[in-house]
Structure 1
Amino acid sequence: MEKTAEDVPVTPAGRMFLHPDMDNVISCAIGLQNPIDIEALKSDIKNSIMIQHPRFRSLFVKDKHGREHWRLTTRVNLENHVFVRDIKGNDDDDEDIVNEYLADLAVSSPLAFDKPLWEVHILRKQKCFVLRVHHALGDGISLMSLFLACCTKVDQTNTVARDKSSFTSSSTEKSIPGIAKKAWRLVMVVVFTFIYVLKFIGRSLGVKDGKSVITGGDGVELWPRKLATAKFNLEDMKKVKSAITGGTVNDVLFGVISSGLARYLEVRLPNETQEGLQITGLAMVNLRKQPGLQEMSNLMKNGSVSRWGNQFGFFLLPIYHHKDVGDPLSYVKRAKAMLDRKKLSLEAHFSYSIGKLVMSLFGPKVATLLNRKVICNTSFTISNILGPQEEIMISGNPMVYIRVNTSSLSHAITMHMVSYTGKAEMQILVAKDIIPDPKFLAKCFEDALLQMRDAATTAPQIH
């Protein structure tokens, strides 16, 4: 196909996500309070800022040299993008029905390349719609910011206020005065960056986690999936956070993941799980200088520090399994100590830069191969976006929940958490032949937070 003057080159990250061995799609499930007025929703989509965005009006094309580009279309036909599904079931089964539908989409339903790479699936009886967007169009921060720009507060007509997201690459510490302390901090940045970059390179070259009952691997991304939802109260997470000096919601979340996985392993293989077993996660880290959800004008502005697109790197987050941990808050203390060191390092920036360099020098095939190596040699994926804390609506219909998951990876577990109106809900997508009971795994995480909350209620602040 001949390149035209208006074609825009696909970014290096976008090229990797579009490679057949990756082809990653984000699914955002929106639960609504009232039955969906389909025509009103279609009208709002047609007139929304989303349709005006060039990526949502562009086809993915290759020129005669095989270079990937975005080509603007003259018209978006909503009939090719909006699909209505009538799935029978009782109201009590709605969550299971939606999760089963999303689990099937995660494996068996790639987006067609003969139209812009997004779809809306309306599950009419479940009062839910699913926005599916190819990851090449943007990352979670970009897409959530765009989606919220299409919504309004329930009690107002203006757009939703922006909240901060959790995983960022900047340190949460305040700046430390004094030349000596600044010099020491610089030394720590160099040391931690050197250590963590070496470990990251090791993962891409073959260093892998030990075998466990949650281990995935090459080819597992094609296995059938199950999906369960772990539900947390943000006030409980804040209560635990307050018990740890300088604690963050991220510290609590990763402490919950550590404790929950330990609980799950003990139940699945009570006498066989190795003491000190390392289980390593990949955390997606927002690299924009301004953290959190962004105003669309900032994302689309040329030269903005908060650019549209895929602006994220990775942290390797190791968990070491230990039996008989007496203090539930010890999981959060260990998580905080590790995350503080990670934030001092440039690991996330390195992972982004090296991927971009490999893509530029060797193309998407090699970049995808290295990315798959890192995934196959670790055990799970985790991401977290702190969404709007005020109730919002679309087409005049208030939202009940916002839940996110992606296409399946080589991991047997991928976890994506989004908070909304004081609740935090984490979608747990699993390979069902490896983890047949994701609802029990979700309960392990929920119980871990409740136990930490109870311990935080009676414990003095921990330094």
Structure 2
Amino acid sequence: METPPSEEESRKMKLSPAARLFQSPRFNCYIVSIIGCNSTIDPEVIKDGLTRTLFKHPRFSSKLVVDDGKFCRRRRWVRTPVNLDDHVFIRILGSKIENPDQFVEDYISHLTTTPLDLSKPLWELHLLNLKTSDSESLGIFRIHHSVGDGASLMSLLLACTRRTSDPDALPTLPAPSKRPPPPDSGDFSVRFLRFLMAIWSVITLIWNTFVDVTVFAATILFLSDSKTPIKGPPGVELSTKRFVHRSISLGDIKFVKNAMNTTINDVLLGVTQAGLSRYLNRRYAQIEKDEGTNKKTNFLPKKIRLSSTVLVNLRPTVGIQALTDMMAKNSKAKWGNLLGYLLLPFNIALQDDPLDYVRQAKATIDRKKHSLEAICTYLCARFLQKIFGVEPPVRFTYVRRRARGRNVAGAGAGSKGASQQGITRGEDELAGPMAKLAISGGEFSFNLPSFCVNLLGSISIGIRACSSSGPCCGMGDLGRGDLERPEWAIQSGPPSTSVSEAWWYVRILVESHIAKITAATARRAISNTTVAFSNMMGPLEEVSFYGHQISYLAPSVYGHPHALTIHFQSYVDKMTIILAVDPNVIPDPQQLFDDFEDSLKLICEAVIKQGLNKETV
């Protein structure tokens, strides 16, 4: 009879594949979210609010545990009591700080040098009652990326806020625009034309997907961005990052959007391309001036290849109301990282017409919308994990049976255990040596290689006799592979077998953690690009975080192999640009902000000059 699971085991939750990816050593990512407030923060009010809301979310009240097996480690989320003082840090700051903005930058930058404590839930909140240029105080959330994706975490934080004008009402987010359906027509020619357009749409979808997936695969294998002054060196993910932000007018962005019949994402990408082109031109100009080159205006090399990696959340973002109900009523809502990748190429050049940046951005985004690249990259990663696994689901036992006159070895934990783990038995046949073999004087009797879905290979070798100096002596059980040593082990012992002779066996384990392989694949795809880029929509009206009116929101991320990460976050009537930079690569992020602002200004002026705004008046 099977024993029922204990209460502790029933409270354990598996990590999603993306969560395991973000836990890998070379892809250890964190999310940082800065919340600026218009008033001094009352720590006790914040603590009381967190107890009533955020602490009830499973991921914010669960710690990461590692169950050690004989050959594997299983990582699980386990619900645990949350101690406020372990997660909320109140910094008492004096009033004699000369440059508060610089102090905040240094404070957040220092946070990137220390990991979160795995013995408690992987998040923390730092409260700083320090007046800066754009807030009276601020809170700094630091959350491990394995807890959730950026969009879900932002929705969760907004579910903890209320409208400033109505303390009982949740924030209002911009509704996604939907294209109205075409009017129904009984004309046969119109229907036939729509049918042809639908066929052409499917063909272009397949072609775009094929091209994008091919380019993505090439990027993993060999295709890399051009070496530019903003591309990080190897190991940039381990360097200390600095986080800076600046707000621009959301009205100006909407003005360009309406005048050119585009989307806000089109305008933001156009402004980014224009700003990066100006910034790189200045950096190349400085290099050539140092070399004594003659005067010119365009210093950009020809055909610069510069692209961005964009993480796409394939799961529909959980609504604020659903998250509020989950925290208030313990109702269930889908949560976790369900991420795909896509590569977004940037056009880096000095354009005579500033509007060309927006037109090029619109063409790029429209094409990406008509592609299944993000879904395909997710499915490929999922396929690797299904085939190879992330951690061994069962321990190895060996079943010898007679089939077609020969011995066949199987890997698994018996048919019952295999079926419970979703393992399908299979057979394979390998050609062996024709001559007899021996190891340390012991003649081979049988050789049983096996392979499990987690890339944990095993070779069992039966030996009729083993010398005292052979590999069978004093091996013991070396257990699972360890990151501190080569990932193989030799084990010896008398197996359970019906063969009349006394067998000894040597089992060589070659353990290859698929989390490393998946992380290395994702890391290579990202390290061969230059920029991380994202945009998130914020509330349409002013909101308060447990009674503290918010002045701005500034989320970002670190731990991935990029020297430059660009985030756009809207809030009421402004758009905040957040940069996470490696100061050794980009020592002047404020200059990059100036280039973004100047580019938006030039685009707005070009719209007015060309008379495109008349239709929107």
Equivalence for 1:43: 48
The question of whether the paired residues in 2 share the 8 Å contact of 1:25 and 1:110 is answered with: no
Cα deviation, residue 175, structure 1: 5.3
CA gap of 1:407–1:289, structure 2 versus 1, over 3 A, is closer
Equivalence for 2:249: 233
Cα deviation, residue 95, structure 1: 3.2
Q: What secondary structure does 2:198 align onto?
A: helix
Pairing 1:93-242 to 2, within 5 Å after superposition? 93-106=99-112, 108-126=113-131, 127-164=137-174, 178-242=194-258
Superposed CA offset, 1:40-99 (max 9, x none): 111111112x110111111101222311111111x2100111111234567884333323
User: What runs of 5+ residues in structure 1 fail to find an aligned partner?
Assistant: none
Pairing 1:280-291 to 2, within 5 Å after superposition? 280-289=307-316
CA gap of 1:21–1:53, structure 2 versus 1, over 3 A, is same
The question of whether the paired residues in 1 share the 8 Å contact of 2:300 and 2:349 is answered with: no
CA distance in 2, matches of 1:154, 1:287: 32
The question of whether the paired residues in 1 share the 8 Å contact of 2:155 and 2:319 is answered with: no
CA distance in 2, matches of 1:394, 1:164: 19
CA gap of 1:54–1:290, structure 2 versus 1, over 3 A, is closer
Residue 397 (structure 1) aligned to one of 548, 564, 572:
548
Q: What secondary structure does 2:540 align onto?
A: coil
**TM-score normalised by L of structure 1:** 0.91
Residue type of the partner of 2:337? N
Cα deviation, residue 155, structure 1: 1.0
Residue type of the partner of 1:428? L
Cα deviation, residue 424, structure 1: 1.0
Equivalence for 2:63: 59
Residue 311 (structure 1) aligned to one of 322, 335, 338:
338
Between 1:285-294 and 1:222-231, the stretch displaced more is 285-294
Residue 281 (structure 2) aligned to one of 261, 266, 269:
266
Equivalence for 1:86: 92
Equivalence for 2:442: none
Residue type of the partner of 1:54? P
Equivalence for 1:371: 522
The question of whether the paired residues in 2 share the 8 Å contact of 1:162 and 1:294 is answered with: no
Residue 420 (structure 1) aligned to one of 554, 566, 571:
571
Residue type of the partner of 1:138? G
The question of whether the paired residues in 2 share the 8 Å contact of 1:61 and 1:71 is answered with: yes
1:341 and 2:351 aligned: no
Superposed CA offset, 1:266-323 (max 9, x none): 1111255312211111123232356986732698999x9x832113322211123223
Equivalence for 1:275: 302
Equivalence for 2:458: none
Residue type of the partner of 2:205? V
The question of whether the paired residues in 1 share the 8 Å contact of 2:57 and 2:326 is answered with: no
Superposed CA offset, 1:378-432 (max 9, x none): 0000111111021011232111111011124211101122111111112111111
CA distance in 2, matches of 1:260, 1:370: 30
CA distance in 1, matches of 2:318, 2:257: 19
CA gap of 1:175–1:359, structure 2 versus 1, over 3 A, is farther
Q: What secondary structure does 2:9 align onto?
A: coil
With a CA cutoff of 8 Å and minimum separation of 6, indicate the structure with the bigger relative contact order.
1
RMSD: 2.7
**TM-score normalised by L of structure 2:** 0.69
The question of whether the paired residues in 2 share the 8 Å contact of 1:243 and 1:459 is answered with: no
CA distance in 2, matches of 1:190, 1:298: 40
Superposed CA offset, 1:210-242 (max 9, x none): 111011142011223333213221111011111
Equivalence for 1:457: 608
CA gap of 1:298–1:209, structure 2 versus 1, over 3 A, is farther
Residue type of the partner of 1:459? Q
> How many residue pairs get matched?
452
User: What runs of 5+ residues in structure 2 fail to find an aligned partner?
Assistant: 1-5, 132-136, 183-190, 289-298, 389-513
Pairing 1:411-450 to 2, within 5 Å after superposition? 411-450=562-601
CA gap of 1:208–1:352, structure 2 versus 1, over 3 A, is same
The question of whether the paired residues in 2 share the 8 Å contact of 1:148 and 1:159 is answered with: no
